[in-house]
Amino acid sequence: MSGAETLQHITVLLHEAVDALAVRENGVYVDGTFGRGGHSRLILSKLGSEGRLVVFDKDPQAIAVANELAAQDKRVSVVHNGFATFQTALDGLGIGQIDGALFDLGISSPQIDEAARGFSFRFDAPLDMRMDPTRGISAAEWLASAAEQEIHEVIKNYGEERFSRQIARAVVSQRETAPIDTTRKLAQLVAQNVRSRERGQDPATRTFQAVRIFINRELEEIEAVLPQAAGRLKEGGRLAVIAFHSLEDRIVKQFIKRYSQHPPLPRWAAVKEADLPQPPLKPVGKAVKPDGEETAANPRARSAVLRVAERTGGSFEAC
């Protein structure tokens, strides 16, 4: 067994997320972020023989684990791609409506903990950061060619870093003499340009987060998949999303809010509440966060937020 295979991933909000789906025995479900299959295996344990589970992941290592599961369980279909391809992939599998979809956003522990993937400033490794290292450009390649303004905007918008402009300027200056091609080089450069530090947080944390989100188009994928997934739900079907930072959670929260409310009407419109079209979604409960026991066992779970919505009989076109 390789080092990559021995890396552990503790599934966050495992029972809460799967319980939120209210799994129907012979339903069709999607796990949009397979990871190492924690949520998927629990969903399968609740499905009957006629049930079906489609799993997505970009990461070749995750897909290898998913393919092993699919070889053992014919109810499983595997899609090696980002979940923004949701509709196209389901069409290709001959699947129309579904009973539920689960998305565990962000990055998995094996990706962080395997030095060679270049996600973490804790190791010195090639600066890659791609969830699928067979596609797209690496973080090092992007930093080598991106304009200073673009680097600044990425670090500011995706990392909410106050010193984004100074970091971007330093990147452009540094690359004129030597490439920024390892995690250590980037972390050291950032540390030299972040003038104040947050307690318990490495100065490179926000920059690494920002570059990773940008390289993998993470926020764009979330915005793309939510309407696709919600639009495929049968009436009573559930959408469950676990976010790990405010940028992700804001997108999810605003999406559910938008489609669980009536569209705004002009003040002069004399329309009774009962005559308004039913919104296509309704929130299920309040946002759920890990309890103290889970965060003590898995500190990476502390920022997780689970939001759930249920499909009604309303139309998205009316919103």
Q: Point out the annotated binding site for S-adenosyl-L-methionine.
A: 37-39, 57, 83, 104, 111
Q: In what order do the strands lie in the sheet with 76-80?
A: 76-80, 52-57, 28-31, 98-104, 233-243, 305-311, 281-283
Report the binding-site residues. 37-39, 57, 83, 104, 111
Rounded Cα–Cα distance for residues 160 and 158 (Å): 6
Rounded Cα–Cα distance for residues 193 and 22 (Å): 49
Tokens, residue 67: 């393919």
Burial of 184 (0-12, 13-18, 19+ CB in 10 A): middle
Name 111's Cβ contacts closer than 8 Å, sequence gap at least 6.
Answer: 59, 117, 119, 131
Radius of gyration over every alpha carbon of the chain, rounded to an integer in angstroms = 21
Question: What percent of the chain is helix, strand and coil (3-state, nearest 5)?
Answer: 45, 15, 40
Rounded Cα–Cα distance for residues 118 and 177 (Å): 22
Question: Which of 6, 10, 16 shows the shortest CA–CA distance to 299?
Answer: 10
- Taking the CA atoms of residue 38, residue 68, residue 131 and residue 303 in that order, the dihedral angle to the nearest 10 degrees is 0
Among left, alpha and beta (phi > 0; psi -120 to 50; other), residue 209 is: alpha
Tokens, residue 206: 């926000």
Secondary structure letter of residue 79 according to DSSP = E
